[in-house]
Amino acid sequence: MDKRRITLKDIARELGISVSTASRALNSYSGISEETIKLVKDYAEKHNYVPNSIAVNFRRNRTMTLGMIVPEVVHPFFSSIISGAIAAANQHGYRILLGQTDEKLPNEKLACRSMLSGSVDGLLISVSNETKDFEHLQEFIDEGKPVIQFDKFLENFHTPKVITDDYESAYEAVNHLIKQGYRRIAHINGLLEVKNSMDRLKGYKKALEDAGLEFREEWVPHCKNISEEEGYQFAQELLNLPQPPDAFFCITDLVALGVMNYLKSQGIQVPKQIGVMGFSNWKIAEVMSPGLSTVEQHGHQMGMKAVNLLVQLLKDQSLGSNETYKIDSDLIIRESTLN
């Protein structure tokens, strides 16, 4: 090899591995063997590798465009995040290029390929429910383009993350139900492989445990589509159990709407007979009758924070660290839980 400063591609070529693997090994990512990590780091040290290609990429070919990939664009929570992101981007002289996955990994990869072609300076992403690995996202890092994950994220993909504290938010929501006198609290959850669903489940279980209340597996069904129809269906199934719940904590307000519709169809009074708690504080929570108690996630603030972080990384010519920034949530109390 000549005397010029070696690049990440040089290391990958000389060791017979991909550029992505070389980059992940240098950063000691999980999923890379200790042997490979040592091999790459030893080679990099021996040849005085300096990761200056990042700075070069930052300085070159700026488009003043930020990529943003979400599961759904027409969605109460994500549209709020998008609105905040656009507002912050405008303040910094950037524009937002949107991509939608419909919770499908192939769509996510397609959007990433399109944005990676040179049209964006960095990426903001809330990963799809199907996303388990980050090879397609690592390509941005390898090209010196910073990535910010928000809302739904991959723990083992080491980038800055902007999220709601789902564990604490769920704990507070369930604790409110307990204080209102409800004792058999069901939780209509999402897919367990999705991080925020798992954290809300943990918060729910901890609140029950701290209050000395029973946790029953049959009171925790899991939505595949997070839909009103699933809320209706699960409410029907749960209330026909030998030991039915006396309250519902729902993964979203849309699911809670389905629960409320079933309760109305059966002449069950809310909150006198059964309490209902949502999550997100969508507009429908205000107009339901009775009004739906829920958790306000502050999507607009999340979008602004994510963009501000990304712009700062671009200014610093940095890819950032594996930090998590939590946006505070608020418990919104309405009639559906005031027993």
Sequential DSSP letters for 164-179: E-HHHHHHHHHHHHHH
Q: Is the pLDDT of residue 208 over 60?
A: yes
Residue 167's pLDDT is what? 97
248/181 same-domain check: yes
Residue 1 is assigned to a structural domain of this protein: no
**For 116, what's the count of Cα atoms within 13 Å in the CB-facing half-sphere?**
17
| Number of other residues whose CB lies within 10 A of the CB of residue 56 | 11
- For residue 325, pLDDT over 90 is answered with yes
pLDDT attached to residue 2:
47
* pLDDT of 25 over the 80 cut: yes
Could you tell me the CA-to-CA distances from 219 to 134, 153, 233, 244 in Å, in that order?
33, 27, 13, 8
Maximum distance among all Cα pairs of the chain, rounded to whole angstroms: 81
Residues 6 or more apart from 304 whose CB is under 8 A from it?
84, 85, 87, 88
Average pLDDT estimate for 307-330: 92
Q: Which of residues 55 and 36 earns the better pLDDT score?
A: 36
Among the listed residues 142, 112, 154, the one whose alpha carbon sits nearest the alpha carbon of residue 20: 142
Find the mean pLDDT for residues 33-62. Answer: 75
Whether the per-residue pLDDT at 266 is higher than 90: the answer is yes
Weakest mean pLDDT among 20-34, 90-104, 233-247, 271-285: 20-34
Q: Is the pLDDT of residue 58 over 60?
A: no
What mean pLDDT comes out for the span 279-295? 96
Q: How far is CA 195 from the centre of its chain?
A: 7
DSSP states of 201-242 as a string? HHHHHHHHHHTTPPP-GGG--B-SS--HHHHHHHHHHHHTSS
Nearest CA among 66, 67, 78, 85 for reference residue 226: 78
What is the number of other CB atoms lying within 10 angstroms of the CB of residue 1? 8
Q: Is residue 335 part of a domain?
A: no
Same domain, 236 and 196: yes
How many separate domains does the chain show? 3
Question: How distant, in Å, are the alpha carbons of 25, 191, 235, 299 from that of 17?
Answer: 10, 35, 52, 40
- What confidence score (pLDDT) does residue 279 get? 98
**Which H or E element spans position 14?**
helix 8-15
The rounded mean pLDDT for the chain is 92
The answer to whether residue 57 is domain-embedded is no
β-partners of residue 66 are 96, 122
Q: How sure is the predictor about 4, in pLDDT bands with cuts at 50, 70 and 90?
A: low
Answer yes or no: do 321 and 283 share one domain. no
pLDDT of 169 higher than 60: yes
How far is residue 225's CA from residue 212's CA, in Å, rounded to a whole number? 32
Inside any domain, residue 156: yes
**How far is the C-alpha of 12 from the C-alpha of 14, rounded, in Å?**
6
Average pLDDT over residues 45-58: 65
Q: What CATH number should be reported for the domain holding residue 262?
A: 3.40.50.2300
Residue with tokens 């664009």: 73
Helix (H) or strand (E) holding 300: helix 299-316
Q: Answer whether residue 14 shows pLDDT above 70.
A: yes
pLDDT at position 1: 44
| pLDDT for residue 316 | 86
In whole angstroms, what is the distance from residue 244 CA to residue 235 CA?
10
Q: Same structural domain for residues 118 and 191?
A: no
Answer whether residue 334 is part of any domain. Answer: no
| 127 and 107 within one domain | yes
Both tokens of residue 298? 């502050």
Q: Both 236 and 217 in a single domain?
A: yes
| CA 321 to each of CA 37, 146, 240, 324: distance values in angstroms, whole numbers, following the listed order | 19, 10, 49, 9
Q: Which domain holds residue 215?
A: 166-297
Place 59 in a pLDDT band, splitting at 50, 70 and 90: low
Task: For residue 305, give the nearest of 319, 318, 324 by alpha carbon.
Answer: 324
Predicted pLDDT at 21? 84
What DSSP element (H or E) covers 247? Answer: strand 247-250
What's the CA gap between 243 and 180, in Å, rounded?
Answer: 20
